[in-house]
Chains A and B, each alone.
Chain A
Amino acid sequence: MATMTAAETGQSRLRPSKPTGFLSWVATTDHKRIGILYFWTVLVFFFIGGVESSLMRAQLAQAELSLITPEIYNQMFTMHGITMVFLVVMPFAAAFFNYLLPLMIGARDVAFPRLNAFSYWFYLFGGIFLYSSFFLGGAPNGSWVGYAPLSSDAVSNMAFYAVGLQILGVSSLASAVNFIVTILNMRAPGMTFMRMPMMVWMALTTSFLLLFAVPIIAVALFMLQFDAVFDAQFFQPASGGDPILYQHLFWLFGHPEVYIMILPAMGIVSEVMPTFSRKPLFGYAAMAFAGAAIGFIGFGVWAHHMFTSAIGPVPRAAFAVATMFIAVPTGIKIFNWVFTMWGGRIRFTTAMLFSVGFVSMFTIGGLSGVVHSIVPHNAQQHDTYFVVAHFHYVLFGGALFGLISGVYYWYPKVTGRLMSEKLGKFHFWTWLLGFNLTFGPMHMSGLLGQPRRTSVLPGELGTTVETYNLLSSLGVIVLAVSASVFLYNLLRSMKHGEASGDDPWDARTIEWMTATPPKVHNFDVIPVITARDEFWHRKYAESDQHIPVAVPVGASVDHDEHDGDVGHIHMPDPSLWPAIHTLGVMPLGYGLVYANWLLIGIGLVWMVAGVFGWIIEPLAEGDDDEPALVGAATH
């Protein structure tokens, strides 16, 4: 993280200011801009996923309705699942990681800025590719798990699923490599592992989970897709193929995936809670290692998604016990959050409300999760609305609450303006109400016998189940209103929000030390880290009773020095090549879906050419390890 003065590099010019406009966004390699791109793309997909769920809830509002055909319904729940998992929650976390990681560890950018852009474009094109299926004969309709042989059947629409997820997987894998290297290698001086913000720990754990989980689903998807399109025999029962292999591969990815979605939110909550309680995170080390433990055990519990599948009693028992014990590190986290608040001076801003909501709702999801591990009764709950309730409490009440908390918390960092607290609180309470109204009753309708993924609510389940379903459907309306308020607040506050200043929350971590919004190069001078919660310790000393005492102004450097010429800082050049290279995945993808060798060839040549363009693109300021410039590199 070298910063150069003009004299050192022998170059006197300041870096020319980046152009604005459409092309500057396409070519950007700035982690902050890429984070913003992720964010808005996520919102679009979130809206689409919400529409899909609304259609489903409309269909199930009463028994035996036929508002939409079973074919459409099956596409809706499949696309809703894929969208929310792969196009919303995961990239939502990526948006935060992109924007915040370098700021939190005191770096100027991620390790591989162009690869970062590549990740975003792969994500965007993957999403577009998946949704183009609606116009090309029907969207995937085999559920988000895509079990073979239903999904490897040539007449299913699941080739789009297999290829689309493959594309998204590449994006995730590239991000994972990028974030791991960034966190391991680009921390500011003094930023030891045990001084990293908890969010960074969670990002590291999440990235490792992705690193090891994505290749496994890549294999499963290759097999599925070649079965469906090229008549391979991986899962064809007629020739001896085993559908259970697909389940193992899918869930060996799929369970870590659950933690990939929840850990970033846990990281966010672990930042928000200390700030608004004005206390450090309780049990920092336990939190970090509980996160890692969750990630690690998360690779050993996958078969609990298959308790009713063709597996014997011994694996059922083993995976039941493993599953139960993943509740231990989760419990540690919950108690540590509560005790972070304990004894504090809690300011209930919207961000804090969402974080407390996260802990509360996630606990419910955690409890119903333990219930699933009771294998004999799991046979009753499995594939019913009880499960639907469970994972929505974890992913909506958990992940999404945490992520939204992060939006309210870091919005001023990104825009320099605060979101309206009034609208924010309205958003929170309606969100909490709508969420519980939608998903709470599903616990009961599931136990009363309603299976998931059915395009119609059978009247024979009885009027009680029907009432619960009606409540769920009404809840969606509340959620829709709430989400609209959120969107309005987001857009309105950009122009009309109250100016936030550099440190609106009296925060603890170093991303708040620099200018708001941050400059392209993040920090004029990279801070030297001497403590966990570095920024807090620059602002406050502690009395003998461990009560913080404000440090007199000027006695300590508690903000980045914005003034004056900081000389030349070498930042990554913008580049169009990631976007150009990545676009080649579209012909390649369609080629694979339609077994069209011409398209496959075009895609491959395009992408290889794109890589070469990428490699030989002249850098504005020379290569990092170019001998003439040794000493000038910053990343």
Chain B
Amino acid sequence: MTAVAHSTTMGLDNRKLGMWVFLASEFLFFGAFMSAYLLYIDTTNRGPGIEIFDIPFTSVSSFVLLMSSLTMVLAHNSHLRGDMRRMRLWVLATAGQGMVFLGGQVYEFTVFFREGLDLTQSPFASSFYFLAGFHGAHVAIGVLLLLGLYSLSLTGKIKPGQDVKTEIIGLYWHFVDIIWVILFTVVYLIPELRV
């Protein structure tokens, strides 16, 4: 075997492969929560149900999150070209959009809570908050990772040749986005068709 870096059996960086494998596991995590949500979608225990959703509002925040995938790609692309200044810019933009999304979720939860959708109200409430909340937690972790990436790059700890780090965080970020696309469809849109 020749002595070059990343000479792995599959030709894929270990960390990248690790992230892929981990994300495969995450799909089942969200899948299980989603099945609970679908089971309980009408089990509202005389509390608020799906009519509480504000589709236009959530659509806007969903759009913001989707766009952040684009900036994430741009960040990775800049890193590949070794343009660290641009890369940092796009990373910040991505994190910013993530935070906008999170802000939207916090706002949304607050409104729902005021309207009586308490975690302890019904199985529907519990499963909605868990599903959306765990997604939110994933976004928050992603934002932390992006901010870490930004500051480490600023202090020079992440160098132009180490684009794999941006790529891995990008993988995670895209995954979180994809989950949201599914989640938004299953939680908000499909039930809306029935109302």
Contact = CB atoms under 8 A, between A and B. Distances in A.
Interface of A: 1-4, 8, 111-112, 173, 176-178, 180-181, 184-189, 191, 211-212, 214-216, 218-220, 222-223, 226-227, 230-234, 236, 239-242, 245, 249, 252, 526, 608, 612, 615-616, 623-627, 629-633, 635
B25 to A, nearest CB: 5
A443 B109 CA distance: 54
Contact of B36 (A180, A187, A245, A626): A245
B122 A233 contact: yes
B25 A185 contact: no
21 contacts: A2-B3, A111-B14, A177-B22, A215-B25, A216-B29, A219-B33, A223-B36, A223-B130, A230-B119, A230-B120, A231-B119, A233-B119, A236-B123, A239-B43, A239-B45, A241-B123, A242-B39, A615-B152, A624-B5, A625-B161, A632-B5
B154 interface: no
B9 A239 contact: no
Given A526-B1, A612-B148, A630-B161, A211 B24 contact: yes
Nearest to B26: A215
A234 B45 contact: no
A8 B14 CA distance: 23
A215 B32 contact: yes
Contacts of A220: 32
A623 B126 contact: no
Given A176-B21, A188-B1, A219-B32, 5 more contacts: A185-B12, A185-B14, A187-B9, A239-B45, A630-B4
A240 B123 contact: yes
Contact of B123 (A178, A233, A624, A630): A233
B122 A239 contact: yes
A2 B25 contact: no
A4 B4 CA distance: 10
B36 A232 contact: no
Contacts, number: 153
Q: Which 4 A-B pairs have the closest CB atoms?
A: A215-B29, A2-B3, A219-B32, A240-B43
Contacts of A184: 9-10, 17
B127 interface: yes
A625 B18 contact: no
Nearest to B3: A2
Contacts of B119: 226, 230-233
Contact of B1 (A189, A240, A249): A189
B159 A240 contact: no
A1 B125 CA distance: 51
Nearest to B22: A177
B123 A181 contact: no
Interface in B95-128: 119-123, 125-127
Contact of B2 (A2, A180, A211, A239): A2
A185 B28 contact: no
Interface of B: 1-10, 12-15, 17-18, 21-22, 24-26, 28-29, 32-33, 36, 39-40, 43-45, 119-123, 125-127, 130, 144, 148, 152, 157, 159-162, 164
A2 B7 contact: yes
B179 to A, nearest CB: 13
A288 B159 CA distance: 43
Contacts of B148: 612, 615
B21 A211 contact: yes
Contacts of B123: 233-234, 236, 239-242
Contact of A233 (B15, B26, B121): B121
Contact of B162 (A214, A219, A626): A626
A183 to B, nearest CB: 9
A233 B45 contact: yes
Contacts of A239: 43, 45, 121-123
Contacts of A178: 18
A625 B5 contact: yes
Contacts of B18: 111-112, 177-178, 181
Contacts of B24: 211-212
A394 to B, nearest CB: 25
Contacts of B17: 111, 181, 184-185
Nearest to B8: A185
A631 B25 contact: no
A2 B1 contact: yes
B49 to A, nearest CB: 12
Contacts of B32: 215-216, 219-220, 249, 252
Contact of B14 (A186, A242, A630): A186
A627 B36 contact: no
Nearest to A217: B32
Contact of A218 (B8, B29, B161): B29
A100 B116 CA distance: 56
B178 to A, nearest CB: 16
A615 B155 CA distance: 14
Nearest to A188: B1
